Structure 1
């Protein structure tokens, strides 16, 4: 009887996530004078207690770990979920630009190793740059880091774009002009819901974003300058993940499901997929799904589609879940 009650208790989820911090040693940090030095990096993450496997959720650039609450609460209810705030985002440590794209992947690898998350049959779900970071971590790890990965329109471009980064870069001036100060969370919501990008978001998702995107003075936590530097770095040669995937000893053992957004003609760079169509060919156990009429930010704009994708992902990997 005691054993049965213990098992039931262990599988009960927490209704609200806990806020946690961890310090990673010897990480690259940009100083005020522009110099990059090695030092401690404090990362923040949200933790929903629940049963194994542990699921690590990684967000898109300029967002944070609470943008996906609806997906986590509906598709992953009852599981042990960790949603990370990348450096420069949410409550994690900030530093002056640049923010190198590969640092996010390295941070994920160090984060997983420091918390020893792989012991809990770790599953990774990442959107946009979060998908890149998970793939980077898996490709560079000295052992098999994940049991399975779900990459939601990951920022992994065709190889040729990394070789000609200057011609591939789009105008980032609109990001630098972005408003980053409000009078309240409600003020932020009322302004953003009128803008094209955010007008398509459900109200609860927009509120989740706004609530955790600003500090106690209602200033944007991910500064426009930092966001712009992330996009600039994402297309540079040192963000080319293909050689790392090819050399990896372990990523090809991992089932990887890529869910891509649609391609379009819109002038808004967030309206089309940022994932090369043939990415699936880079993974021996890869699977590819392209959505119809869905934009890059579909997890926020159409959370029900993302929820279905996550639920299908769990079913695909039922052999990992069944013995727990």
Structure 2
């Protein structure tokens, strides 16, 4: 499939966009914390001829990294992006924080979205936000183990070899892991080692600032469009357990028009484990 890569100025930051030109209702894909738009390659390859956009969130991939990490700012980024691209009848698809952002954008721009697919979104139970805020008061991004993630790599091959047999990456489809590694590092430079495009401290800041993302609860009643929720088994909130599902088990019941697909055999990384399953649900939303 033809691929276009460009930067879109949305005001105070430029977001990197990967676009696969095609026909039909546009699809907008938003990735999880710490990842990038090309983690969707294996999903996109199963939707030939479809017009698809995937975006690197602020502080991720090739997008700008301006300001403090703030989930409300990230939400506004996606709202501005949808307007700048002039998308309508869009199928919004988001994984993890991407699901949170798609939900908030659809609530803010109901006339732009046709249907949304939330994949294990970081939308937690109302009571957990207060608990998380109390915890975060004494737990900074520098305290999070992700902030100490290895950040000097020879190349993508070294990353792939290191992660292939290490959880949770060992649960991923091999081609998705390859795509993640191939696009995870800054471009070649004169330095001996290459660093992650998503700085580990920024990634840790996303996890810690999640505690203050409860504005989404006010948006849930505004979501009247069809929603499909793919959800792994919930085992409680643990900011350091990246493979555990963060999704509120009663989320589907809190939405007006939601079909839940419960996947207890899978972990939080559903699109990485089974890109074909995700593509099937997108095709269903597209009426295919």
Q: TM-score, normalised by structure 2?
A: 0.89
1:112 aligns with 2:73: no
Q: Which gives a bigger RCO, structure 1 or 2 (Cα 8 Å, sep 6+)?
A: 2
Q: Work out the CA distance in 1 between the residues paired with 2:252 and 2:228.
A: 8
| 2:96 corresponds to which of 119, 125, 128 | 128
Q: Work out the CA distance in 1 between the residues paired with 2:118 and 2:135.
A: 23
| 1:192 corresponds to which of 163, 176, 193 | 163
Deviation, structure 1 residue 295 = 0.1
Deviation, structure 1 residue 202 = 2.4
* Structure 2 residue aligned with 1:148: 115
Partner secondary structure for residue 66 of structure 1:
helix
* Structure 2 residue aligned with 1:63: 35
* Structure 2 residue aligned with 1:205: 176
Equivalent runs, 1:4-83 vs 2, <5 Å = 15-25=1-11, 40-74=12-46, 76-83=47-54
* Structure 2 residue aligned with 1:244: 219
Runs of 4+ in 1 over 6 A off after TM superposition: 265-268
Structure 2: which 5+ runs fail to align?
none
What is the aligned length? Answer: 278
Q: TM-score, normalised by structure 1?
A: 0.80
Q: Work out the CA distance in 1 between the residues paired with 2:71 and 2:271.
A: 21
Larger Rg belongs to = 1
CA contact (8 A) 1:162 1:240 kept: no
Q: Work out the CA distance in 2 between the residues paired with 1:307 and 1:189.
A: 24
Structure 1: which 5+ runs fail to align?
1-14, 26-39
Deviation, structure 1 residue 173 = 2.7
RMSD: 2.1
1:224 aligns with 2:238: no
Deviation, structure 1 residue 265 = 8.1
CA contact (8 A) 1:262 1:295 kept: yes
Deviation, structure 1 residue 94 = 1.5
CA contact (8 A) 2:94 2:102 kept: yes
Q: Work out the CA distance in 2 between the residues paired with 1:266 and 1:105.
A: 22
CA contact (8 A) 2:160 2:181 kept: yes
Partner secondary structure for residue 10 of structure 2:
strand
| 1:180 corresponds to which of 135, 140, 151 | 151
Partner secondary structure for residue 6 of structure 2:
strand
CA contact (8 A) 1:161 1:168 kept: no
| 2:209 corresponds to which of 211, 233, 241 | 233
Question: For the structure 1 residues 265 and 110, does the alpha-carbon distance in structure 2 shift closer, same or farther, using more than 3 Å as the test?
Answer: closer
